[in-house]
Amino acid sequence: MACAIVSSSISSPLILSFLLFFSSSILSFLSHAEARYDPSYGSPISSIISEELFNSIFLHKDDSACPAKGFYTYFSFVQATKCFPRFGNTGDGATRKREVAAFLAQISHETTGGWATAPDGPYAWGLCFKEEVSPQSNYCDSTNQEWPCYPGKSYKGRGPIQLSWNYNYGPAGRALGFDGLKNPEIVANNSAIAFKTALWFWMTERKPKPSCHDVMVGRYRPTAADREANRTAGFGLVTNIINGGLECGIPDDSRVNDRIGYYKRYAQLFDVDVGPNLDCANQKPF
């Protein structure tokens, strides 16, 4: 799917004239215009997470110590969710809350600036970074001919999910309307695009991996290979999808535990249980 960036600028004079012509009064038009500036306008996600709750979840994202200060706004998050109407809008109320909590937990770990003794605890420091610091490579898989790397470009982790590798930047850009191979830097320069790439990754099935969304809303159907690998549904399987090659199949992995810590905090704030199978210690990676 393609999803153009939603602009927060005022409508053009032609559009305003059109609206005025069909409005019953100036007041009704102004009321409509005001609603357009409400970040939650037209998005079901606002019934789960308000701007106040969003800011209480990410207590320190705009601290001067965070390189992403001012980047990850509630407005950009809500606008991005409009491109993925099934996100946080599938299943009963508890399922919807659980999915949003799981998504926010995963992006918090990917961008965390917290530490064990951090103010307000280690799980209050999500969305502190918008791009990977000191990457070990340019994340170019030269064997992938479908999404060839552009000379001089780095496909290091960027955005809330830390999108990485040319074979992710390419299809994400195609789906969202930007050139991910020639202009990967936009994911760290445009907040709306950044959130959209994270949601694209969350919602997209990449066989043999299911989508994180399908796992969290109960649509995951394990194959024979999945059952043999003990890939059971739950938050742990989402971690396996995101970074299982490095984190899963390892008892008491600190990175997995950090993801779980965020998830437990957010589930409590949403007043919903976390569900089964929180870790992936006994799962084989995909």
What does the pLDDT read at residue 58? 98
pLDDT single digits (tens) 228-253? 999 999 999 999 999 999 999 999 99
The more confidently predicted of residues 239 and 42 is 239
Question: If pLDDT is split at 50, 70 and 90, which confidence band does 3 have?
Answer: confident
Position 125 confidence tier, pLDDT thresholds 50, 70, 90: very high
Six-digit token pair at 66? 């965070």
User: Of residues 6 and 228, which shows the higher confidence score?
Assistant: 228
pLDDT above 50 for 37:
no
The per-residue pLDDT for 43 is 76
Q: How far apart are CA 147 and CA 101, in angstroms?
A: 32
Pick one of 3.40.50.720, 3.30.530.20, 3.30.20.10, 3.40.50.1820 as the CATH number of 131-189. Answer: 3.30.20.10
Whether pLDDT at 12 is above 90 = no
Kindly indicate the confidence band of residue 44, based on its pLDDT and cuts at 50, 70 and 90: confident
Which residues, including other chains, have CB under 8 Å from residue 50's CB and lie 6 or more apart? Answer: 40
The average pLDDT across 107-131 equals 97
> Is residue 209 within 8 Å of residue 284, measured between CB atoms?
no
Report which of 278, 283, 103 is spatially closest to residue 209, judged by C-alpha positions.
283
Q: Residue 169's pLDDT is what? A: 98
**pTM of the predicted structure, to 2 decimals:** 0.87
Under a CB-based contact definition with an 8 Å cutoff, are residues 51 and 61 in contact? no
Which residues are identified as catalytic? 110
In angstroms, rounded to a whole number, what is the distance separating the alpha carbons of residues 200 and 188? 16
Q: Where are the domains of the chain?
A: 38-129+205-286, 131-189
Share of the chain above pLDDT 70, in %: 86
Tell me: pLDDT of 41 over 60.
Answer: no
Length of the chain: 286
Q: State what percent of residues in the chain have pLDDT above 90.
A: 85
Over the chain, what is the mean pLDDT?
89
Top CATH class of 38-129+205-286 equals mainly alpha
